[in-house]
Chain A
Amino acid sequence: MIKVDNLTKKFGNNEVLRNISTEIAQGEVVSIIGPSGSGKSTFLRCMNMLETPTSGKIVFDQQDLTDSKTPVNKMRQRIGMVFQHFHLFPHLTVLENLTYAPLKAKGVNKQVAQEKARELLKRVGLSEKEAAYPNSLSGGQKQRVAIARALAMEPELMLFDEPTSALDPEMVKEVLDVMKDLAKSGMTMVVVTHEMGFAREVADRILFLDHGVLLEEGNPVEFFSQPKTARAKDFLDKIL
Chain B
Amino acid sequence: MNLDFSQITPYIPFMLEGIWVTLKFVAVALIVGFILGTLLALCKISNIKPLNWFAIAYTSIFRGTPLILQLMTFYFAIPQLTGYDISPFLSAVLAFGLNSAAYISEIIRAGIQAVDKGQTEAAMALGVPYRQMMKDIILPQALKNILPSLMNEVITLTKESALVSTISVLDLMRRAQVVGADIYRNFEPLLFVGLIYWIMVFGLSTIGKVLERRLKVSDQS
Contact = CB atoms under 8 A, between A and B. Distances in A.
A133 B218 contact: yes
Contact of A135 (B123, B136, B137, B220): B220
Nearest to A102: B126
A101 interface: yes
Given A100-B136, A104-B132, A104-B136, A135 B125 contact: no
Is chain A's binding surface mostly helix, strand, loop or mixed? mixed
A49 B118 CA distance: 15
A77 B140 contact: no
Interface string A162-188: 000000000000000000000000000
B127 A76 contact: yes
A135 B218 contact: yes
Nearest to A100: B136
A83 B121 contact: yes
- Chain A: number of interface residues, binned into ranges: 20 to 34
Interface residues of B, number: 23
A90 B218 contact: yes
> Of residues A77, A79, A81, A101, which shows the largest number of chain B Cβ atoms within 10 Å of its Cβ?
A101
A50 B127 contact: no
A2 to B, nearest CB: 15
B126 A153 contact: yes
A123 interface: no
Contact of B122 (A78, A89, A106, A135): A89
B116 A89 contact: no
A150 interface: yes
A80 B127 CA distance: 9
Contacts of B125: 48, 50, 76, 79-81, 83, 150
B120 to A, nearest CB: 9
A105 B126 contact: yes
A104 B140 CA distance: 16
B119 interface: yes
A238 interface: no
A136 B218 CA distance: 9
A71 B124 CA distance: 12
Nearest to B143: A91
Interface in A65-100: 73-81, 83, 85, 87-92, 100
B132 A133 contact: no
B218 to A, nearest CB: 4
Nearest to A82: B125
Interface of A: 48, 50, 73-81, 83, 85, 87-92, 100-101, 104-106, 133-136, 149-150, 153
Interface of B: 116, 118-119, 121-129, 132, 136-137, 140-141, 144, 217-221
